[in-house]
């Protein structure tokens, strides 16, 4: 059999076809399904948007890579298809700023592309955890301590998010961007807080929502208010909204964050797979991808 293969950037009008492929595994591909369902393929330049590169074999979609506007790359599936997609994306858009994928897949890509591996600055070892709608568990009194965030919580929310990003990354994005993102969460009823003394001291959000699964994230409690169960309450409220709609909930957390993992397990989450967030440094203009011939040979074969 002759296999006719090609790579192409998805354009408006192809949303349904790409979604049909990605939603064969809607939980694993949640972070690619979400921007496509929310914004389509018309890129307005928002951080959570980006470009979709599609691998076709005999005109059927056999792989998809998503590179967001911050340079973060995700893909489906792994193996040779992932190699072809990453190679093609680098030829189109240059080296990514970060790779996010299952541990074995990401390690394989780094081995296949030594010029990418040389740019690795930091690797975050994370665990993906899943909550089945029927597995959710928590005493009702915990739910009652949390509330939907309101406009009056906006400034507290922004401050909590700044502290969260500073703890994780050493810095935070601009207040303007944080305010825009927070307003969306508040307006869409996806943000939850626990208050003390009239101010929000703990938060959690459904950062991505799709018909099959939602993603829990942005969990943070002020240092002086920790060890009171606030984070558990905020997360429980967010999860209750999702499971009440019959959806799975997934999240990503550092594997060595044993306190967080224990908290999520109390809600009914289980670890599903290990993945890596590989952050890359600046591109050396003197180096090229250099693997096009190998990938082209596989496509033609």
Q: Is residue 125 in some structural domain?
A: no
Domain of residue 295, residue span: 5-119+281-300
pLDDT at 142: 77
Q: What is the pLDDT of residues 57-96, one digit of tens each?
A: 999 999 999 999 999 999 999 999 999 999 999 999 999 9
The enclosing domain of 266 has a CATH number of 3.40.630.30
Mean pLDDT of 13-28: 97
For residues 248-271, give the mean pLDDT: 96
Q: Does 267 fall in a domain?
A: yes
From residue 13, alpha-carbon distances to 17, 41, 116, 185 in Å are 9, 8, 33, 28
Give residue 144's pLDDT band: very low, low, confident or very high (50, 70, 90).
confident
Tell me: pLDDT of 164 over 50: yes
Q: 154 and 219: one domain?
A: yes
| pLDDT at 136 exceeding the cut of 70 | yes
Q: Is the pLDDT of residue 295 over 60?
A: no
Number of structural domains found in the chain = 2
Do 136 and 88 belong to one domain?
no
Give the predicted TM-score (pTM) of the model: 0.89
Task: Please give the torsion angle defined by the CA atoms of residues 92, 96, 102 and 103, in that order, rounded to the nearest 10 degrees.
Answer: 130
| Cβ–Cβ < 8 Å for 168, 217 | no
- Residues across the chain: 301
Contact between 194 and 209 under an 8 Å Cβ cutoff? The reply is no
Same domain? For 221 and 180 the reply is: yes
- Burial letters for 277-293: b for 16+ Cβ neighbours within 10 Å, e otherwise? bbbbeeeeeeeebebee
Q: Say if residue 286 is in the same domain as residue 224.
A: no
Residue 256 in this model has a pLDDT that exceeds 80: yes
Contact yes or no for 78/106 (Cβ under 8 A): no
pLDDT for res 291: 35
**Mean pLDDT score, 122-136:** 96
Instruction: Give a yes or no: residue 124 inside a domain.
Output: no
User: Does the structure show a pLDDT above 90 at 296?
Assistant: no
Specify whether 155 is located in the same domain as 91. no
The arithmetic mean of pLDDT across residues 120-128, rounded, is 95
pLDDT score of 2: 42
pLDDT exceeds cutoff 60 at 210: yes
User: Is there a domain that residue 172 lies in?
Assistant: yes
Look at residue 34 and tell me whether its pLDDT is greater than 50: yes
Reference 244, options 120, 115, 79, 133; nearest CA is 133
The radius of gyration of the chain's CA atoms, rounded to the nearest angstrom, is 20
Question: 82: domain CATH number?
Answer: 3.40.630
Give the model confidence (pLDDT) of 176-187 as tens digits. Answer: 989 999 999 999
Q: Do 55 and 188 lie in a common domain?
A: no
**Tens of pLDDT, residues 229-253:** 999 999 999 999 999 999 999 999 9
Cβ 299 vs Cβ 63: under 8 Å: no
Q: What is the pLDDT of residues 88-101, one digit of tens each?
A: 999 999 999 999 99
Are 213 and 241 within one domain? Answer: yes
CA 32/CA 15 separation, integer angstroms: 12
Mean pLDDT rounded to a whole number for the chain: 91
pLDDT of residue 283: 53
Query: What share of the chain has pLDDT > 70, as a percent?
Result: 92
pLDDT of residue 3: 56
90 shares a domain with 15:
yes
Q: Residue 95 domain-assigned?
A: yes
Q: What is the pLDDT of residue 143?
A: 78
Based on the fold, state whether residues 138 and 267 are members of the same structural domain. Answer: yes
Quick one: 94 and 22 in the same domain? yes
Task: State residue 141's pLDDT score.
Answer: 77
- Lowest mean pLDDT across 28-32, 48-52, 109-113, 166-170: 166-170
């Amino acid at each position: 059999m002759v296999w006719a293969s090609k790579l192409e950037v998805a354009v408006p009008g192809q949303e349904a076809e790409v979604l049909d492929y990605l939603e064969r595994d809607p939980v694993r591909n949640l972070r690619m399904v979400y921007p496509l369902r929310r914004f389509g393929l018309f890129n307005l330049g928002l951080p959570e948007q980006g470009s979709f590169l599609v691998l076709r074999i005999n005109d059927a979609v056999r792989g998809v890579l998503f590179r967001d506007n911050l340079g973060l790359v995700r893909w489906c599936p792994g193996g040779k298809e992932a190699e072809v997609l990453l190679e093609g994306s680098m030829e189109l858009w240059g080296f990514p700023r970060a790779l996010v994928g299952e541990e074995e897949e990401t390690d394989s890509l780094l081995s296949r592309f030594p010029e990418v591996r040389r740019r690795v600055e930091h690797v975050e070892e994370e665990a993906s955890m899943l909550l089945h709608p029927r597995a959710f568990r928590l005493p009702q009194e915990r739910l009652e301590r949390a509330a939907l965030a309101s406009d009056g919580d906006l400034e507290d929310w922004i401050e909590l998010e700044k502290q969260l990003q500073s703890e994780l990354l050493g810095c935070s994005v601009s207040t303007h961007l944080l305010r825009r993102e927070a307003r969306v969460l508040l307006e869409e009823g996806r943000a939850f807080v626990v208050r003390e003394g009239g101010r929000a001291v703990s938060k959690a959000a459904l950062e991505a929502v799709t018909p099959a699964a939602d993603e829990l994230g942005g969990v943070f409690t002020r240092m002086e208010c920790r060890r009171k169960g606030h984070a558990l309450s905020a997360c429980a409220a967010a999860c209750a909204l999702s499971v009440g709609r019959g959806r799975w909930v997934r999240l990503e957390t550092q594997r060595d964050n044993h306190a967080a993992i224990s908290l999520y397990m109390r809600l009914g989450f289980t670890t599903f797979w290990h993945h890596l967030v590989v952050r890359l440094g600046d591109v050396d203009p003197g180096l090229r991808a250099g693997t096009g011939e190998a990938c082209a040979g596989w496509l033609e074969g």
